[in-house]
């Protein structure tokens, strides 16, 4: 299969037609390169706040509500594009107010299949900024999506930095990591997390990033990142574990060909068997001896 991960800039779109044209252009470009799975970044939907004007977009609380109110239409657009181009799309994540979950929004990434299937994954662990001032709410559970491309799990940005969340998705062949990070250090934290989860689970992880400046929103006013696709540095994969990496802060798609058979093979007969041997840690992490030297 061919995977495309986005380094995606936020634009101050002022009409729905402008937003739809932008998303259609990005999807068409990746589809034209033969991609079967597209990954957009975390909080990429924040540009929808500008449809309510710069005053709303510049007020964090009002912007959260504005974006959430547009997501039904955005989801219909992505579902139509997935069907039209016969590919899977992980849309950019968005703040979503879901009355069934409580008064505060979750950070939700919607997933679309070419046959009309729709799903979503909510972020599990909030960053400091998401806790205050955004007051975002974490929401369980983690999900494993059965698709024509294999089993797919989603770890939104900070979630990728927690090994037990990755282990919860150990049956996934692909881990998708949509990201939004302000500084270069943040990009590398998420990238290292995505690579570590690929190592531990002996699978492929695909990271998408917001890039550039959007001074009209406090949520993602400055972002640093790049697309990247990673696997275990083992049999059937590059020695570095890097299948593809984009140019830092350069908008566009990063592509990589991924062979599902290579994932199955490294899990069964890799030089190491991290995924199989995971349970051998149990007990060793709680029986640490302290010695004075």
Q: pLDDT over 90 for what percent of the chain? A: 97
pLDDT given for residue 29 in this prediction: 98
- Mean pLDDT, residues 31-58 taken together: 98
Average pLDDT, the chain: 97
The full set of domains in the chain, from first to last, is: 2-281 (3.60.110.10)
pLDDT given for residue 140 in this prediction: 84
Alpha-carbon distance of 40 to 177, in angstroms, equals 9
Determine the angle formed by the axes of helices 16-32 and 60-85, rounding to 10 degrees: 40
First-to-final CA distance of the chain: 54
Give tens-digit pLDDT for 146-203: 999 999 999 999 999 999 999 999 999 999 999 999 999 999 999 999 999 999 999 9
Residue 104, both tokens: 């505060």
Q: Which of 88-97, 204-213, 279-288 has the lowest mean pLDDT?
A: 279-288
Q: Tell whether pTM > 0.75.
A: yes
pLDDT given for residue 128 in this prediction: 98
* Chain centre to alpha carbon of residue 252: 16
pLDDT given for residue 170 in this prediction: 98
Alpha-carbon distance of 153 to 122, in angstroms, equals 11
Cβ proximity of 142 and 169 under 8 Å: yes
Residue 214, both tokens: 């959007």
């Amino acid at each position: 299969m061919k995977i495309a991960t986005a380094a995606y800039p936020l634009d101050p779109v002022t009409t729905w037609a402008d937003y739809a044209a932008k998303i259609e252009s990005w999807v068409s470009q990746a589809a034209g390169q033969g991609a079967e799975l597209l990954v957009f970044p975390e909080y990429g939907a924040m540009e929808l706040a500008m449809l309510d004007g710069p005053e709303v977009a510049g007020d964090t609380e009002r912007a959260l509500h504005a974006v959430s109110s547009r997501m039904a239409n955005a989801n219909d657009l992505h579902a139509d594009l997935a069907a039209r181009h016969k590919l899977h799309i992980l849309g950019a994540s968005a703040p979503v107010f879901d009355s069934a979950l409580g008064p505060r929004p979750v950070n939700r990434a919607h997933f679309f299949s070419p046959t009309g299937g729709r799903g979503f994954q909510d972020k599990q662990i909030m960053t400091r900024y998401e806790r205050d001032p955004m007051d975002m709410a974490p929401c369980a559970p983690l999900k494993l999506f059965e698709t024509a491309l294999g089993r797919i799990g989603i770890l939104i940005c900070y979630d990728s930095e927690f090994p037990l969340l990755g282990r919860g998705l150990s049956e996934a062949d692909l881990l998708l990591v949509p990201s939004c990070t302000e500084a270069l250090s943040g990009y590398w934290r998420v990238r290292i997390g995505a690579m570590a989860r690929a190592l531990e689970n002996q699978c492929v992880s695909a990271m998408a990033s917001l890039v550039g400046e959007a001074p009209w929103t406090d949520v993602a006013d400055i972002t640093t990142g790049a697309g990247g696709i990673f696997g275990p540095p083992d049999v059937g994969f590059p020695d570095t574990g890097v299948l593809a990496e984009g140019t830092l802060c350069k908008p566009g798609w990063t592509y990589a060909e991924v062979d599902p058979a290579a994932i199955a093979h490294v899990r069964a007969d890799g030089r190491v068997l991290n995924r199989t041997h995971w349970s051998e840690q149990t007990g060793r992490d709680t029986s640490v001896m302290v010695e004075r030297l």
